[in-house]
Chain A
Amino acid sequence: MVTLSSDSRNIIGRGPPLGAGLFFLGLVSVGIMMLDQRSDYLNTVRQWLGAAASPVYAVVQTPGQAWEWLTGSFADRNRLKTENAELSEQLREARVKLLQFDSLREENVRLRAVREASAGVGGRTMIAEIMRVDVDPFRHRVRINKGSDDGVFRTQPVLDAFGIVGQVVQVDKYSSTIILISDSGHSIPVQVNRNGIRSIAEGAGDLGKLSLPYLTVESDVKTGDLLVSSGLDGIFPAGYPVAKVSKVERNPADTFALVEAKPLAQLDRDREVLLLWAEPPSQVAAPAAKPSKPAATESKPAAETSSAPPAPATPSAAPREPAETLPPGAQPLPQSQPPQD
């Protein structure tokens, strides 16, 4: 029979009594929880604790990275060739689209200036890699390898090439946690792209499904409709694709229709995601050039995304375009004409 080997010295009569330890540490835990839940006092502490945890992440990720490196360096030539051909094909298509895009964007900016509307889609982005670590098997959360040192902030929207992935919920120094739109605790305000009906898409705890519980039986929604973010939450910028309606069931006896949608972002296949610094809407007209972040944290993301001059991270009030997508020299709307008065 296995018995515990023991340090048989008596513990009674030395040190503080057990109950006192429980009481004191319990009080500390409850205090920490309340502080963490209700205020931002612990943010810096959390960031540093997260930084202290980064060696653990490094160790955990090493085998996966080594495997990736191995397969990468021994990839056979044929595969690389086909991949190369595919990519250049895609690039060509994208270039053609971009040709129209430039003129369309200028037109859009002009029209928006006329309508005094907010600065539509646009913003600065940065690529972040999803880390191979486990966060919580019951929640749709993943960890990415960019943190407050890269200018990541809480509630920052996260995208991939196909749509909205989620938002940042917690920031450490060198990494951060994002919550996916499919998490059962997450919801995102959306709009049917076809007719502008607004609703809220809630995560259902299933990677391939969002539910839209607040659409009435009469509302004009069809299977295949594209849902885009409506931007009403002030977190996700308007106009980014979120999901496609996959199922509409109308029971005339009910008030609400049963609507489900399939997220467009590849939530389960992504290895890389895009962090987005959205342009604030131009209604908040304020004196320009107010760099809200220290210059040190600023230079890094700018160098990462583009060759553009380091613009202020959260750009000023004027509806300025994302510098990196512009061809050099083409600045459609200089700052001098923000639509005010």
Chain B
Amino acid sequence: MSDGRISRARVTFTVILAIIFAVLPLPEPLDAARPDLLLLLVIYWSLSAPRIAGLLFAWFCGLAIDVLKGIILGQHALAFLVVAYFTHKFQLRIRIFPLSQQTLTVFAFLFLYQFIVFWLDGIVGQPVTTWMRWMPVISGAILWPILVAGLDTWNRRNR
């Protein structure tokens, strides 16, 4: 039981860091390619601690992004929710994937997320049509192995 509680604190801590990272001003070229760290964390925790990080958790994370950066409430929340749904659905499979395959899956998830956001942008009537908006998909996929390695090491040490 105490294990669960520690994990919960850990999840909260990483989520707060990711939220801060989301609004941190970055220099110009990096700015457009800022990876969606919070979404990566949602995927990671959905895979490794599905009891703590459920759909509601993902939805609230998305809502936080909406409040900080969105043009309407609920947009990123919906995108996070859909990604979390697929992560949970294929959780047992993705967990035993080799890392390369896992990264590809995450790439697909990130693409799905960006596509939903892009689509809703269009519905709202304020589309962003530069190709640059797909950069976070690539940078996020590159970040995934590093994130998994780091968080796994941390989890194993403080278990």
What is the interface of chain A, defined by CB distance below 8 A to chain B? Answer: 1-7, 9, 11, 15, 18, 21-22, 25-26, 28-33, 36-37, 42, 45-46, 49-50, 52-53, 56-57, 59-60, 64, 132-139, 185
What mask results when residues 56 to 96 of chain B are scored 1 for a CB within 8 Å of chain A, else 0? 10010001100111011111011001100100110100011
With the chains together, A132 CA to B89 CA distance in Å? 39
With the chains together, A139 CA to B48 CA distance in Å? 35
Q: Say yes or no: B23 contacts A134, CB within 8 Å.
A: yes
With the chains together, A134 CA to B32 CA distance in Å? 11
Q: B44-59: which have CB < 8 Å to A?
A: 44, 47-52, 54-56, 59
Residue numbers in B under 8 Å from A42 (CB-CB): 73
With the chains together, A144 CA to B68 CA distance in Å? 13
Q: Say yes or no: B74 contacts A33, CB within 8 Å.
A: yes
- Give chain A nearest CB distance to B149 CB in angstroms: 5
Residue numbers in A under 8 Å from B23 (CB-CB): 56-57, 60, 133-135
- Give chain A nearest CB distance to B131 CB in angstroms: 11
With the chains together, A136 CA to B22 CA distance in Å? 10
Q: B16-43: which have CB < 8 Å to A?
A: 19-20, 22-26, 31-32, 34
> Contacting A22 at CB < 8 Å: which of B71, B82, B124, B128?
B82
Q: Say yes or no: A5 contacts B24, CB within 8 Å.
A: no
Q: Say yes or no: B74 contacts A2, CB within 8 Å.
A: no
15 contacts between A and B (CB under 8 A): A2-B149, A4-B152, A6-B47, A7-B48, A7-B52, A21-B54, A21-B85, A22-B55, A37-B124, A42-B73, A46-B67, A53-B67, A56-B23, A64-B25, A134-B34
Q: Say yes or no: B128 contacts A7, CB within 8 Å.
A: no
> Contacting B91 at CB < 8 Å: which of A11, A33, A135?
A11
Chain B: CB-nearest residue to A52: B67
Given contacts A11-B51, A25-B56, A60-B25, 16 further A-B contacts (CB under 8 A): A1-B98, A2-B149, A3-B96, A5-B156, A11-B50, A11-B91, A15-B54, A21-B54, A29-B77, A32-B77, A36-B72, A37-B124, A49-B63, A49-B73, A56-B68, A134-B31
Q: Say yes or no: B7 contacts A29, CB within 8 Å.
A: no
> Contacting B73 at CB < 8 Å: which of A9, A15, A46, A185?
A46
Interface of B: prevailing SS: helix
> Contacting A56 at CB < 8 Å: which of B20, B49, B51, B145?
B20
- Give chain A nearest CB distance to B87 CB in angstroms: 10
> Contacting A53 at CB < 8 Å: which of B51, B68, B99?
B68
Residue numbers in B under 8 Å from A50 (CB-CB): 67
- Give chain B nearest CB distance to A265 CB in angstroms: 20
Q: Say yes or no: B78 contacts A33, CB within 8 Å.
A: yes
Q: Say yes or no: A6 contacts B48, CB within 8 Å.
A: yes
Q: Say yes or no: B32 contacts A137, CB within 8 Å.
A: yes
Chain A: CB-nearest residue to B62: A29
- Give chain A nearest CB distance to B40 CB in angstroms: 13
Q: Say yes or no: B55 contacts A7, CB within 8 Å.
A: no
With the chains together, A26 CA to B56 CA distance in Å? 11
- Give chain B nearest CB distance to A308 CB in angstroms: 36
Chain A: CB-nearest residue to B21: A60
Say yes or no for B132: interface residue by CB 8 A criterion.
yes
Residue numbers in A under 8 Å from B82 (CB-CB): 22, 26
Chain A: CB-nearest residue to B154: A5
- Give chain B nearest CB distance to A126 CB in angstroms: 24
